[in-house]
Structure 1
Amino acid sequence: MGRFVSNTINKVDKKGRVSIPAPFRTILQGQSILHVILNSEHQVAEAGGSQFMDANYKRLEKMDPFSKEYEYWSFYLLGDADEIKIDSEGRIIISDIIREHTGITDEVAFVGRGNFFQLWTPKNFKDYRKEARAQINQMRKQKTISSGSSDYAPGEQEV
């Protein structure tokens, strides 16, 4: 399976549709439903195909179905989520639940995150990218990034 990598900004048309970026469509090939979860920390939606949803189901299966933990996680992953049809041209309609949570109006920033991708407003994505880069730079300075069994930061050579 491929990974969702990179980012791009696409316009939402008058009917509320937006084209999924071509590299992302390739990974989703053969799937007609996009599974969407609303991020609980940021105004962003996280989306993926059936493998993304299967991974979330597996998380739930490990929990006691009568526990509070299960109650909240199942609500987060299922009850407060969305499923969106991917049309034959690789477009999706940005649903009201996604619009309300993310603030998306006329443009969508698609951001690859490996096994899933995110849907941001371009402004929120730009702000988060700036924050993430600053945090990574701080971690590199403090050598807190772990890469396997080594302590060196990505981009640096192990001595």
Structure 2
Amino acid sequence: MLRGATVISLDNKGRIAIPKRYRAEIINHCDGLFVCTIDHQFSCLLLYPINEWVHIEAKLATLSSLHPAERRIQRLLLGHASECDMDGQGRILLPATLRQYAHLQDKIMLVGQLNKFEIWSESLWQQQIEHDINLQAEDAIAQSSRLSELSL
């Protein structure tokens, strides 16, 4: 299980070091091989262990290339997908085009999402979290007013 948010550094060659707490599990389950692609909804990257990526590719293969929206998803996710091999020091090289898409510079956030990591620029991550917290608060207010209208 990949979980938690960790601030990590992007080195001058475009590499990130996977935190040590994940390395043994990653090596055991996917031999340190990942696929990195863009998130089509947010300015971040998605980093899948290869065994998880296989499931994503199978789902993408079921989409129709004749349906414009489905083809866009295939084009974005598969077209940007890049294999990344973890080296002996636990580092992964992120391709320049992907780093540019996600506005990655010195400090980045590696965010566990059960079967994958999200990779965010630290500043965009903070903005997204503030946005999500505000939306969650609005959702809670809407829910409580709906419940009070029911007169239970």
- Whether these two folds match at TM > 0.5 is yes
Q: Which amino acid aligns with 1:123?
A: S
Partner of 2:150: none
Partner of 1:28: 26
- Aligned equivalent of 2:7, options 6, 9, 12: 9
Question: Aligned pair in 2 of structure 1 residues 13, 138: CA closer, same or farther (>3 Å)?
Answer: same
Question: Aligned pair in 2 of structure 1 residues 137, 25: CA closer, same or farther (>3 Å)?
Answer: farther
Q: 1:18, 1:92 within 8 Å by CA — same for their partners in 2?
A: yes
Superposition TM-score, scaled by structure 2 size: 0.81
Q: 2:9, 2:16 within 8 Å by CA — same for their partners in 1?
A: yes
By percentage of residues, which structure has more helix? 2
Query: What is the aligned-residue RMSD (CA, Å)?
Result: 2.2
Deviation digits for residues 62-87 of structure 1, max 9, x if unmatched? 23455445532322221122221211
Partner of 1:72: 72
5+ residue gaps, structure 2, are 148-152
5+ residue gaps, structure 1, are 145-150, 152-159
User: Taking every aligned residue pair, what percent have the same amino acid on both sides?
Assistant: 17
Q: How many residues align?
A: 143
Which whole-Å CA distance do the structure 1 matches of 2:60 and 2:48 have between them? 17
Partner of 1:155: none
Higher RCO by CA contacts (8 Å cutoff, separation 6 or greater): 2
By percentage of residues, which structure has more strand? 2
Q: 2:40, 2:77 within 8 Å by CA — same for their partners in 1?
A: no
Question: Aligned pair in 2 of structure 1 residues 51, 58: CA closer, same or farther (>3 Å)?
Answer: same
Which whole-Å CA distance do the structure 1 matches of 2:9 and 2:138 have between them? 34
Question: Aligned pair in 2 of structure 1 residues 143, 58: CA closer, same or farther (>3 Å)?
Answer: farther
3-state secondary structure, aligned to 1:29: helix
Which whole-Å CA distance do the structure 1 matches of 2:39 and 2:12 have between them? 26
Partner of 1:97: 97
Q: Which amino acid aligns with 2:20?
A: A
Partner of 1:49: 49
Superposition TM-score, scaled by structure 1 size: 0.78
3-state secondary structure, aligned to 1:110: strand
Question: Aligned pair in 2 of structure 1 residues 27, 129: CA closer, same or farther (>3 Å)?
Answer: farther
